[in-house]
Amino acid sequence: MIENENIKIPLDVPAKSRNRYRDNYLRITKGRERLMLFAGDQKAEHLNDDFFGEGIDREDNDPEHLFRIAASSNIGVFATQLGLIARYGMDYPSVPYLVKLNSKTNLIKAEQADPRSPLWIDVPQVVEFMESSKLDILGVGYTIYLGSEHEGEMLSQAARLVYQAHQAGLVTVLWVYPRGRAVADERDPHLIAGAAGVALTLGSDFVKLNYPAGAEEDRADLFKEAVQAAGRTKVVCAGGESTDARLFLQRLHDQIHISGAAGNATGRNIHQRPLDEAIRLCNAIYAITLDNASVDWAYRLYSGE
């Protein structure tokens, strides 16, 4: 557990917002400086591909499935767009939220045009919504496609939103993915480390990165470069496509205890399962991330043994 006085509050958090920032940071990390982020922003990012089809439980096609999981599981924060929160949040006021400020669909492929994902809403609007709705909004998030010909626009927007969020005492998470026609291999570990460093220069509290490519036994070591390059910006790893639960939990354990990552941001691997199984997997991920549980113990928790 981290004590209040040991939190390094960024200098762009003004005196009037320091208590709110400290409280939000402690709550989003459960006082352990690690983040278990349940990602529910794919309704825009991947359209209905992640919610309906072979291997996906039919419950997942109902958007409320995301909120049922978030309300019934151990998580640090549930990240999704403000519109979804506005439509369902009145029935789930106990959920800790992170508002995703930008998104794009997957219809335009990188070989057709470089990705561009400008703001949908800005931080002052989030603050207004937080105050009027009385919901538990702890932070904001934003995606940058590094290497896109539009990266300048996204970097500029990210810099401003991190500053504005800190001014309001909110925690920030940047999704930073190398992607576009200038990027030969977006899973290159050295390039991912560069993306981590960019998130640090933007002043973000956390950065969500893809796990590098490579043999499974080597990936955790390769990811160390990104964790070190991020400095005081904490690294969380994207969950990726749905996979075997045991392999997923082992990979998460290695990311934290070998690479030195500070948590995970998981969506599809959780919400594509039936509600009861999704809750059990959420709790197993939380146990590894926040409670330093072993893979065996977490897998038993997931299995219901």
CATH number, domain with residue 184: 3.20.20.70
Q: What is the pLDDT of residue 2?
A: 73
Q: What is the pLDDT of residue 1?
A: 72
| Enzyme catalytic residues | 177, 208
Are the C-beta atoms of 284 and 249 separated by less than 8 Å?
yes
Q: What is the pLDDT of residue 242?
A: 72
- Please give the tally of structural domains in the chain: 1
Give the rounded distance of the alpha carbon of 182 from its chain centre. 25
- pTM (2 decimals)? 0.97
- 3-state helix vs strand vs coil in the chain, percent to 5: 45, 15, 35
In this structure, what are the phi and psi dihedrals at residue 242, rounded to the nearest 5 degrees? -60, 135
Q: What is the pLDDT of residue 297?
A: 97
For residue 267 the two structure tokens come to: 């969506």
d(C-alpha 139, C-alpha 169), whole Å: 8
d(C-alpha 85, C-alpha 78), whole Å: 10
Single-letter amino acid, residue 218:
D
Q: What is the pLDDT of residue 239?
A: 85
Pairing of strands 137-146, 171-178: parallel
Domain that holds residue 242: 4-303
Q: What is the pLDDT of residue 58?
A: 97
Tens digit of each residue's pLDDT, the chain (305 residues):
777 767 899 999 999 999 999 999 999 999 999 999 999 999 999 999 999 999 999 999 999 999 999 999 999 999 999 999 999 999 999 999 999 999 999 999 988 999 999 999 999 999 999 999 999 999 999 999 999 999 999 999 999 999 999 999 999 999 999 999 999 999 999 999 999 999 999 999 999 999 999 999 999 999 999 999 999 999 999 987 778 999 999 999 999 999 999 999 999 999 999 999 999 999 999 999 999 999 999 999 999 87
Single-letter amino acid, residue 102:
N
Q: What is the pLDDT of residue 202?
A: 98
Residue 80 is inside which H or E element, if any?
Answer: strand 77-81
Q: What is the pLDDT of residue 193?
A: 98
d(C-alpha 110, C-alpha 116), whole Å: 10
